[in-house]
Amino acid sequence: RILVLDFGSQTAQLIARRVRDQHVFCQLVRHDLTPERIRELNPKGLILSGGPSSVYEPGAPLPHPGIFQLGIPILGICYGMQAACRALGCEVKPCLSREFGHTQVRSADTDPFLVGVPDEWTVWMSHGDQVQNLSEQFQVLATTDTCPNAAVKHHTLPLYGLQFHPEVTHTQFGEQLLANFVRNVCGCHGNWKMSSFIEEQVQSIRERVGSSRVICGLSGGVDSSVTAALLFKAIGSQLSCIFVDNGLVRRGETEQVRKEFSEHFQTDLHVVDARDLFLNQLAGVTDPQQKRKIIGKVFIDVFREEAKSIKDAKFLAQGTLYPDVIESGANPDGPAATIKSHHNVGGLPAELGFELIEPLRDLFKDEVRRMGLELGLPEKLIWRHPFPGPGLAVRCLGDITAQRLETLRAVDAVFIEELEAAGLYREVQQAFAVLLPLQTVGVMGDARTYEDVVALRAVNTDNFMTADWSRLPFDFLQKVSNRVINSVRGVNRVVYDISSKPPSTIEWE
Ligand code: XMP
């Protein structure tokens, strides 16, 4: 495996992603991992990521100086290169002019790190500092007009540095450079496979769990289902699952979870009907953050109560993915990245008293899907759109009542059914309906109506941090609109959301 030491760059994840594209397992770890811990993890190479700081500022995150003496190949990228070079006697200073964007880089070297790269190519730079005075221990591998040390190599240590970012798609031959590093420099063979990762996880879960019982919370989504499937493969009937029906799920969701469960797992399932409790607690609440808070709290209370009824449970399995990883004491090696803020509704606090098992926490979404398919879960479940923890509560703008939720569910069901029927469901990454807190005038037959408005939202996105509204065909939208207005009582107007994120968000609340 390769470890990426995370110095806070937004592209640190992307580095890990690119390395894994080479079929080499790669994990993000905190920037100051000690040499002892690194030795224990036994990686074949280290990559020091970029970062927003300046290495010469007081308090800047720096790698442990001992890591350069481990004999493990190291690649420093941007800030990572500066930190490495500075630790080994070079001088890092601000550039005369900061450099962002495309630049031509030149190299005539034949180092194994540069195999397959031409003499001149385009790379993507984003830096305000650079290594100015290279110590004699280093040699230059590549330069640009403004950056004399665009790629460097240490004479005696297996250490390389790149001032530009090989992980971004704007850098030509970036993939080649990363492949050269992991294969030619680190000697990785590129035979990491999902099936072997599953086997490793199964082994380690079995060793950790012994004969204890594990609880897994199901949400109906991909991540918790894959977690449950993996746990089931590892420990079979020692697994108990809990699904909390909060009444804020889509139409048919609870039955769907039961059905999928009985088809794929022959173990203990607890479905808790907490619909009334959630509805009561949410009565009269219209503020979105307040809704989230209440739902989060009630969920924890209900889950805790149910978990108490499961004897000998010592562990709690959660489907936390890499992108969900917020700073967490649970993984001492984990990077201290704060990625999402309000997206952890539905998470469970440490005080629940269980030891956590998070077998997906090093994976990206598409890898989780691959794992799910490999574990035999159905395609339909694997490709289900993400659904927020607070569910329909944040799509039912204004007051949440049983009746308004029913209206929303009915519209949502029409939209999703039509997307599936038109083969468009997988063309968008998320689609849903929103019930607005206002009425408009309409005319049906000869009568004037004054009824609800619903909005349809569909987005295309890579990572849900930015998103574009989906250009669904007009004919399709017309069909959905007709069906909604004709079949859902109380709705007389349908609008389509044509805002991108930013400046809008995907959800309306
Ligand atoms: P926004 O609306 O912030 O949504 O653009 C980005 C993604 O996050 C989901 N989302 C949530 N997920 N709890 C969740 O578990 C929440 O409170 C929450 N709010 C938004 C949203 O559905 C989209 O996929």
- Residues 364, 462 within the same domain: no
Rounded to the nearest whole angstrom, what is the distance from the C-alpha of residue 389 to the centroid of ligand 1? 8
Among protein residues, the one with the nearest Cα to ligand 1's atom 9 is: 388
- Residues 411, 312 within the same domain: no
Distance CA 312, CA 212 (A): 6
Residue 502 forms part of a structural domain: no
What CATH number has the domain bearing residue 458? Answer: 3.30.300.10
- Residues 223, 129 within the same domain: no
Alpha helices in 309-438 (DSSP H): 365-374, 379-382, 402-421
Question: Which one of 324, 350, 382 terminates a domain?
Answer: 382
Tokens of 280: 């009561």
- End-to-end, the C-alpha distance of the chain in Å comes to 41
Structural domain that includes position 447: 395-496
Q: Please give the model's pTM, rounded to 2 decimal places.
A: 0.79
Distance CA 386, CA 390 (A): 12
| CB of 320 shorter than 6 A to ligand 1 | no
What CATH number has the domain bearing residue 32? Answer: 3.40.50.880
Handedness of CA 100, 103, 109, 110 (dihedral sign): positive
Per the CB < 8 A criterion, the answer to whether 303 and 345 are in contact is: no
Q: How far is CA 401 from the centre of its chain?
A: 32
Structural domain total, the chain = 3
Distance CA 149, CA 172 (A): 18
Distance CA 105, CA 147 (A): 9
Q: Which helix H or strand E contains 152, and what residues bound it? A: strand 151-154
Residue 273 forms part of a structural domain: yes
| CB of 221 shorter than 6 A to ligand 1 | no
Cis peptide before 73 (omega within 30 of 0): no
- Residues 203, 344 within the same domain: yes
Q: How many CB atoms lie within 10 A of CB 241?
A: 25
Distance CA 211, CA 213 (A): 7
Per the CB < 8 A criterion, the answer to whether 347 and 321 are in contact is: no
| Angle at the Cα of 297 from the Cα atoms of 291 and 300, rounded to 5 degrees | 135
Among protein residues, the one with the nearest Cα to ligand 1's atom 6 is: 464
Q: Is 212 a known ligand-binding residue?
A: no
Distance CA 199, CA 234 (A): 9
What CATH number has the domain bearing residue 269? Answer: 3.40.50.620
Using only C-alpha atoms, the chain has a radius of gyration, in whole angstroms, of: 26
Q: Residue 104: which residues within 8 A CB-CB, separation 6 or more? A: 120, 121, 122, 123, 144, 145
Output the pLDDT for position 332: 53
Per the CB < 8 A criterion, the answer to whether 244 and 272 are in contact is: yes
Q: Is 4 a known ligand-binding residue?
A: no
| CB of 201 shorter than 6 A to ligand 1 | no
In 3D space, the residue among 107, 111, 124, 101 whose CA is nearest the CA of residue 172 turns out to be 124
Residue 390 forms part of a structural domain: no
Output the pLDDT for position 85: 97
Residue 70 forms part of a structural domain: yes
Tokens of 81: 């290169």
- Residues 209, 269 within the same domain: yes
Distance CA 209, CA 214 (A): 8
Q: Is 49 a known ligand-binding residue?
A: no
Tokens of 482: 């007709």
The amino acid occupying position 120 is E
Distance CA 467, CA 460 (A): 6
Rounded to the nearest whole angstrom, what is the distance from the C-alpha of residue 330 to the centroid of ligand 1? 23
Helix (H, G, I), strand (E, B) or coil at 200: helix
Question: Which one of 355, 382, 409 terminates a domain?
Answer: 382
Residue 38 forms part of a structural domain: yes
- Residues 326, 353 within the same domain: yes
Scanning the structure block, which residue is given the tokens 């979105």? 288
- Residues 163, 225 within the same domain: no
Written as tens digits, the pLDDT of the chain (509 aa) is: 999 999 988 788 889 989 998 999 998 899 999 999 999 999 999 999 999 999 999 999 999 999 999 999 999 999 999 999 999 999 999 987 777 889 999 998 899 999 999 999 999 998 889 999 899 999 999 999 989 999 999 999 999 999 999 999 889 999 999 999 999 999 999 988 899 889 999 999 999 999 999 999 999 999 999 999 999 999 999 999 999 999 999 999 999 999 999 998 889 999 999 999 999 999 999 999 999 999 999 999 999 999 999 998 999 999 988 666 533 333 456 554 433 333 444 467 777 789 999 999 888 888 899 999 999 999 999 999 999 999 999 999 999 999 999 999 999 999 999 999 999 999 999 999 999 999 999 998 889 999 999 999 999 998 788 899 999 999 999 999 999 999 999 999 999 999 999 899 999 99
- Residues 352, 436 within the same domain: no
- Residues 220, 241 within the same domain: yes
In 3D space, the residue among 433, 342, 338 whose CA is nearest the CA of residue 385 turns out to be 433
Question: Which one of 382, 412, 444 terminates a domain?
Answer: 382
Among protein residues, the one with the nearest Cα to ligand 1's atom 12 is: 388
Output the pLDDT for position 334: 57
65 CB burial (10 A radius; 0-12, 13-18, 19+): exposed
159-162/151-154 β-pairing = antiparallel
Distance CA 155, CA 160 (A): 10
- Residues 152, 46 within the same domain: yes
74-77/120-133 β-pairing = unpaired
Output the pLDDT for position 22: 93
| CB of 257 shorter than 6 A to ligand 1 | no
Catalytic residues: 78, 165, 167
- Residues 233, 369 within the same domain: yes
Rounded to the nearest whole angstrom, what is the distance from the C-alpha of residue 507 to the centroid of ligand 1? 6
Q: Is 214 a known ligand-binding residue?
A: no
Residue 82 forms part of a structural domain: yes
Residue 36 forms part of a structural domain: yes
Residue 509 forms part of a structural domain: no
In 3D space, the residue among 404, 408, 402 whose CA is nearest the CA of residue 277 turns out to be 402
CA dihedral 485, 486, 491, 496 (to 10 degrees): -10
Phi and psi based region of residue 64 (left: phi greater than 0; alpha: psi -120 to 50; beta: remaining) = beta
Q: Is 423 a known ligand-binding residue?
A: no
Q: How many CB atoms lie within 10 A of CB 144?
A: 19
Rounded to the nearest whole angstrom, what is the distance from the C-alpha of residue 381 to the centroid of ligand 1? 19
Among protein residues, the one with the nearest Cα to ligand 1's atom 10 is: 388
| CB of 359 shorter than 6 A to ligand 1 | no
Q: How many CB atoms lie within 10 A of CB 165?
A: 23
Distance CA 56, CA 123 (A): 25
- Residues 356, 453 within the same domain: no
